[in-house]
Structure 1
Amino acid sequence: MNFLAHLYLSGESEKIMVGNFMADYIKGRKFENYKDGIQKGILLHRSIDSYTDTHPLVSQSGQYFKGAYQKYSAVITDLIYDHFLAKNWDMYHKQPLPRFVSRCHEVLVKNYLELPKQVKLFLPFLIQSRRLETYAEIEGLRKALNIMVRHTSLPDKTDFAIEILLENYTALESEFHSFMRELIAYVVNEKGIELKYRVE
């Protein structure tokens, strides 16, 4: 899952949210350098990633992009799942997406000194662009993919990804919803996270 899903799955705890958001930049046992709440968020992020990476529905979604992206198909699937979460936000949270995103921004700025250097560098842009909200639109997804092409090793095949998404939109959206229900149950029941507005 990508940024929006990880923030959503953090529940109501600010420290867990911070840890979950920055976890990709905390390697090995370096999480032990942080306070308990942030540690819990980092470990929650790793658990979510492990659960996602081994789930058959996610693998099924990734097959659409395998031909062009190979090992990066999982990265594309993560971002597309964030698109579906943003697009269908009202199904998963009673708070409007713009308000939720604003709260996340406030929490991250409040805990700015706790963030790794890499996160401090991109956070201002993420906030200014309201990037998490833009995931809901195809053009916002396209921009996010192009940003990843410029700043990571993701292959420059954004047009292909969007084309495949649109051709298989209904199937991918259905796979997302089925997976999301299972992921929410896992986070709530196995990880003890309170999702106040979770899907019943």
Structure 2
Amino acid sequence: MNHLAHTLLAGDDELLQLGGFMGDFVHGQPDPALPQGVITGIRLHRAIDVFTDSHPAVAEARALLPGPFRRYGGILLDMWFDHLLARDFPRWSHHSLEPYSAHLRELLHRHEALLPPGLLRFRNYMEAHALPAGYARPEEMGAAFDGISHRLSQSNPVGEALPVLMGLDRQLQATFEVFYPELRGFAREWVGDHGAAG
């Protein structure tokens, strides 16, 4: 899952949301100087990633991708699931998409001192593209895939993934319908077990 899902699955605790954002930008053990709620949010992010990567429905979805794209299936499906979440956001959240997206960008500003350099750079991209709400638009997804493609160290087809994913949209939507409620249940249970205090 990508940024929108990670923050939504963190619930309404802002430190858990911030940790959910930071998960992709923190490697190894989180800095113990971070607030405990942020550290717990990073751990939740990682638990969500493990659950997602090992889920049978996600494995089946990955197998739908044509050969050249399958190697990058984790990245592509994480992004596309955020697109599906954004596209039908009122179904999955009591928040409205645009205000929630603005709240997340403002959250990153309020806690700027805690952000790793990569997330500071990404925040600028978020603001330029009105993310994560922008993920509801296919053209924004195409731009995101192109950007990821250029950041990867070797030649890859990620920049050409949009028409492939759009062609699989109905099947991937069906996968999401099965998978996301289970993921949401997992995240709620995890937060209940670990809490913001870690």
Q: Alpha-carbon deviations, 1:67-123, whole Å to 9, x = none?
A: 112431111010010110000101011221000001111111100110001111221
Cα deviation for residue 156 of structure 1 reads 3.4
Aligned partner letter, 2:159: T
Aligned to 1:198: none
TM-score normalised by L of structure 1: 0.89
SS in 1 for 2:71: helix
C-alpha RMSD over aligned residues = 1.7
Matches for 1:94-133 after TM superposition, within 5 Å: 94-133=94-133
Q: Alpha-carbon deviations, 1:21-65, whole Å to 9, x = none?
A: 011222222343312111110100000001001001111111122
Q: Is the aligned partner of 1:158 residue 2:154?
A: no
Matches for 1:62-81 after TM superposition, within 5 Å: 62-65=62-65, 67-81=67-81
The runs of 4+ residues in structure 1 deviating greater than 4 Å are none
Aligned to 2:180: 180
Determine what percentage of the aligned residue pairs are the same residue: 27
Aligned to 1:143: 143
Q: Alpha-carbon deviations, 1:131-150, whole Å to 9, x = none?
A: 31121121111111111112
Q: How many residues are matched?
A: 192
Deviates more, 1:173-182 or 1:64-73: 64-73
SS in 2 for 1:192: helix
Counterpart-to-counterpart distance in 2, 1:65 and 1:32:
40
Counterpart-to-counterpart distance in 1, 2:126 and 2:157:
21
Cα deviation for residue 66 of structure 1 reads 5.0
Counterpart-to-counterpart distance in 1, 2:184 and 2:31:
24
Aligned partner letter, 2:8: Y
Matches for 1:28-39 after TM superposition, within 5 Å: 28-39=28-39
Matches for 1:2-81 after TM superposition, within 5 Å: 2-65=2-65, 67-81=67-81
Aligned partner letter, 2:64: Y
Counterpart-to-counterpart distance in 2, 1:129 and 1:169:
23
Counterpart-to-counterpart distance in 1, 2:12 and 2:30:
24
Deviates more, 1:111-120 or 1:24-33: 24-33
SS in 1 for 2:42: helix
Unpaired segments of 5 or more residues in structure 1? 194-200
